[in-house]
Amino acid sequence: MKTKLRTVLLLSFFALLFITSCQEEVTDITPPNESEALVAESELTAFMSATAKMDGSLDNIIDKANCLSVELPVTVIANGLEVTVDSTEDYQVIEAVFNEFDDDDDNLDIVFPITIITSNYTEVTIENRDALENLIKECNGENEEDDDIECVDFQYPISFSVFNTDFQIIDVVTIESDRQMYKFIHRVKEGEVIASINFPVNLELTDGTVIEVNSNSQLHNTIKEYKGLCDEDDDNDYHDDDFTQDRLEELLKICPWVVYEVNRNQDNLTETYLEYVMVFKEEGVVKVRKRGGDILTGSWSTRVTDHGVALKLEFDTLVDFALEWYVYEIEYGRIKLYTDGGNKIILKKNCDIAVEFTKERIENYLQECFWRVARLTVDGSEHEQDYIGTPLKFFAENVVKMRVNGEFVTGVYNVLSYNSGFVLQIQLEGRPHLQLEWLITFLEPGLIKLESLGNNADKMVLQRHCPDIDEDLTFIDTALIAGAWEVALYKEGEVDKTENYFMYAVDFLITGRIKVTDPNNGTIYGSWLAYRNEGLRLGMLYENIEPFNVLSNRWKITSVTTTRIELKDFSSTGEVESILVLERKL
């Protein structure tokens, strides 16, 4: 599929061809010999035309026609939801609406009239659905090969020398778009124009590689070599959902896959199998790691059926997976499988996760960086708020430290074998909620999930924090410790409470400690940590002393300079609940 949808209007060439200026007045270009002129019926000319031809497959989610493109903006009704499509990125909005539910019938209605652009860049006004269907029937249908070249793009501008019949240069024409290129090459093919390319010319492949060519033969050979080396995605399924048996097999083997959703016999078994890890190996072997660490081995195979590509899984014990599954969607690192009767599995690719990990690997992960307590639930109560700005650091020799109020509290930790898995033990004085037997259920370099052996409803999630390798965090840390700050604005909803913080000075110390001073009210201490999690965040935990205790939060950083930082707290629905602005004290 072409990487860009070019819609720049064609410049008029007709007037250019009748310019009567002398050859001495033309731009300095060495006149080529006659053999370098484009030949109307040559394969090179055909390749150039096909490369510049309008690719209509990009918006097949709307018109289902490779040879047509709907001019934007256009309004559609996707499953009852009105969507205004202003850019090609909005095709993803339609796809998201269609993907919201897996068992519904997707429907899209177009609000007419619309303008259609055909493969030769002709614009046609369409007044209704019947007129659109008639136009679609005139060209290749969905899933049929078309003759445009989508794996190679021209990089513009490109200039051509235009000659008269005596092979004297009469003008130089600059091409700025596919539309202009297609129409210009059409005139070459019709014998209306004699022209040659002024090299060098750059070609861009679908993976972003740019190739410079310097002659007709090199241009011809390059397009010929790369024109078929990509998936043109000429079907209705927007964003490369189509696949073959070979592609499915290669995709399954490339990385581990994490179980995201399971339904069997109309029962939702997601909680049972969530975060099981599947690894598809050569020679039909599949290994599955359960959350506790047990490894199950089975077999897998694929075949093409009347319903598409099927994946057969066979296990002696994992009976809920042991079926032949039809593959009905591949997208965004996700595979969806289904069978009759409401059976469904959704897998997500995770190239970082390990199926079989060792004590040494776990200890190496732990010792790489700091770790934030991102989630902690014990006895039905959430306790992660107690660990804002207080990351853990695991060292060799079983030493663990937690930074509290900028000071390290030292304890011990152990990684112990348990059945087929591993348990993480943490002993830190004054931190009873950490001191459980934590079974490691999910591990990747940046994330560790744990469940208590005594009660699997008790859960903890640790997220890695490596500030030294993040330039944004380095900037924020440097700005915060450079001097004292004051609360320039604090609002809870629509209530402005800024006056409560008048005259306070907030110092972010390099140790991770916060020191708040006021000539009339003594000193308040706390901890801080800037980190990245779905954006940049600043965690602050203050002593339970007004008015700063209400500022203990994991704030999202919405803007930051060396003298001003704006923080917001959002509700679960995305609404702003509070705003905090800190400014450097003068």
For residue range 261-272, what is the model confidence (pLDDT) as tens digits? 999 988 899 999
111-121 average pLDDT score: 91
- Residue 389: predicted pLDDT: 87
- Residue 169: predicted pLDDT: 86
Q: Angle at the Cα of 201 (from 200 to 205), degrees rounded to 5?
A: 140
Q: How far apart are CA 449 and CA 340, in angstroms?
A: 34
Q: Which helix (H) or strand (E) holds 183?
A: helix 178-189
Which residue has better confidence, 266 or 50?
50
Q: How far apart are CA 139 and CA 234, in angstroms?
A: 13
Q: Is the pLDDT of residue 177 over 90?
A: yes
316-335 average pLDDT score: 85
For residue range 335-371, what is the model confidence (pLDDT) as tens digits? 888 887 778 999 998 888 877 788 998 999 899 889 9
Q: Is 117 helix (H, G, I), strand (E, B) or coil?
A: strand
- Look up residue 268 and give its two tokens: 């939702």
376-401 average pLDDT score: 91
- Residue 367: predicted pLDDT: 92
Closest CA to 269 of 317, 312, 314, 321: 321
Over its C-alpha atoms, the chain yields an Rg (Å, rounded) of: 31
- Look up residue 53 and give its two tokens: 């031809």
DSSP track, 12-25? P-TTGGG----GGG
Q: How far apart are CA 369 and CA 453, in angstroms?
A: 26
For residue range 470-522, what is the model confidence (pLDDT) as tens digits? 889 999 999 999 999 999 999 999 999 999 999 899 999 998 899 999 877 78
Q: Is the pLDDT of residue 467 over 50?
A: yes
For residue range 178-193, what is the model confidence (pLDDT) as tens digits? 999 999 999 999 999 9
CA distances to 115, 143, 295, 421, 452 from 418, rounded to whole Å, are: 65, 52, 13, 5, 12
Note if the bond before 467 is cis, omega within 30 degrees: no
Q: Which helix (H) or strand (E) holds 480?
A: helix 471-480
- Residue 146: predicted pLDDT: 59
The mean of the pLDDT values for the chain is: 84
CA distances to 47, 121, 179 from 8, rounded to whole Å, are: 21, 11, 7
Q: Is the pLDDT of residue 195 over 50?
A: yes
Kindly state the percentage of the chain with pLDDT values over 70.
88
Question: pLDDT band at residue 208, thresholds of 50, 70 and 90?
Answer: confident
240-263 average pLDDT score: 83
CA distances to 197, 198, 219 from 215, rounded to whole Å, are: 8, 9, 6
Note if the bond before 32 is cis, omega within 30 degrees: no
CA distances to 85, 130, 195, 297, 452 from 276, rounded to whole Å, are: 38, 49, 62, 13, 18
pTM: 0.56
- Residue 104: predicted pLDDT: 56
Residue tagged 């939060």 (tokens) = 553
Q: Is the pLDDT of residue 2 over 50?
A: no
| Lowest-pLDDT choice from 61-65, 170-174, 323-327 | 61-65
Closest CA to 178 of 146, 220, 148: 148
Q: How far apart are CA 344 and CA 260, in angstroms?
A: 11
